[in-house]
Amino acid sequence: MTRPFRFAVQSFSAESGDAWRERARKAEALGYSALHLADHIIGEGPVLEATNHPLQTLAAVPAIAVAAEATSTLRVGCRVFCIDYRPAAVLAKEAATLDLLSGGRLELGLGAGWLRGEYEAIGLDFDPAPVRIDRLAETVAFLKAHFAPGQIEVSGEHVNVRGYAAAPLPIQQPHPPIMIGGGGKRVLSLAAREADIVSLNFNNRSGVIGPDGVLSGTAEATAEKIGWIRAAAGDRYGDLELEIAAYFAFVGDGMGAAAEGLGAAFGLTTDEMKAHPHALFGSTDEVVEELLRRRDAYDISYVTVGHEAMEAFAPVVAKLAGG
């Protein structure tokens, strides 16, 4: 079964509360399904510069709450919460509260964490990837238990919570849609088994944004990731929604030069850059055609763009959303 297209905006920063509310309202008016933040903490300085990550000025939880209050149908969430930045019980209560106060509009994105410099800057141990992914798996299991009625009794290597019933419970039952994001086989297999939405990302094993990550998201690499997801999901594959971010979205006439320039920067040909699943180049009709091709090739029906591309990409949303 072919899933209908959905589109989201991801935004990290705003100049004011009014500007943030207006961005949320505009995303809703333009037909986007959701507004996401990321979950990063550090501000400008040598640590952020070394990661090559854009500055995130807004804390995720309060910004999600404000966006929900400013809108009526827009889904809200984080792409994705780093599970190491909060105790699991705190994340669960915050997520349930966001779902309650938004009237059941939370999408709960979860990730194992990857930005090594940020961990070090805020005094957190950056455990090896297998440990972080094990902790993510325990956190997902705990969240599902937390969102259900009754006493919580969870005992694991990383998550130990017991002796109380959760309050509040989320409106969406059995739980808000869970998105798990990542780029490696182990985390994508976990997502295939446990998530409602699988978010395909770069494999950020280097701990920074750079060519290594971009090259882990090529057309060939993405096809391999879909194979991992299919194998791990088994019979539930048809129920999954596959999401991807178009980090490089250039919609308009004469975008060949942008594809050529970015391709050269990453060691890819222009054609390879145009086919890169995390990039979109061309007129509205060309982008529509490419997204239809990618849905056929990869089953990806949920696409996120940065807020800088929100208005230029809106005609694509108008043509494809829900279809």
pLDDT confidence of residue 21: 98
Half-sphere exposure of residue 204, counting CA atoms within 13 Å on the CB side? 19
The values of phi and psi at residue 92, to 5°, are -60, -45
Which range among 33-47, 132-146, 158-172, 211-225 shows the weakest confidence by mean pLDDT? Answer: 211-225
pLDDT confidence of residue 287: 97
Which range among 15-19, 177-181, 246-250, 252-256 shows the weakest confidence by mean pLDDT? Answer: 252-256
| pLDDT exceeds 90 at position 88 | yes
Tens digit of each residue's pLDDT (9 = 90 or more) over 303-320: 999 999 999 999 999 999
| pLDDT exceeds 80 at position 210 | no
Can you read off the two tokens belonging to residue 199?
A: 């978010």
User: What mean pLDDT do residues 78-88 have?
Assistant: 97
What pTM was estimated for this model as a whole? 0.96
User: What mean pLDDT do residues 123-136 have?
Assistant: 96
| pLDDT exceeds 70 at position 208 | no
pLDDT confidence of residue 133: 97
For the chain, the first-to-last Cα distance in angstroms comes to: 13
Q: How is the chain split into domains, by residue range?
A: 6-320
Tens digit of each residue's pLDDT (9 = 90 or more) over 163-198: 999 999 999 999 999 999 999 999 999 999 999 999
pLDDT confidence of residue 313: 97
Tens digit of each residue's pLDDT (9 = 90 or more) over 283-306: 999 999 999 999 999 999 999 999
Can you read off the two tokens belonging to residue 81?
A: 């919460």
pLDDT confidence of residue 207: 63
Q: Does domain 6-320 have CATH number 3.20.20.30?
A: yes
pLDDT confidence of residue 5: 98
User: What mean pLDDT do residues 75-95 have?
Assistant: 97
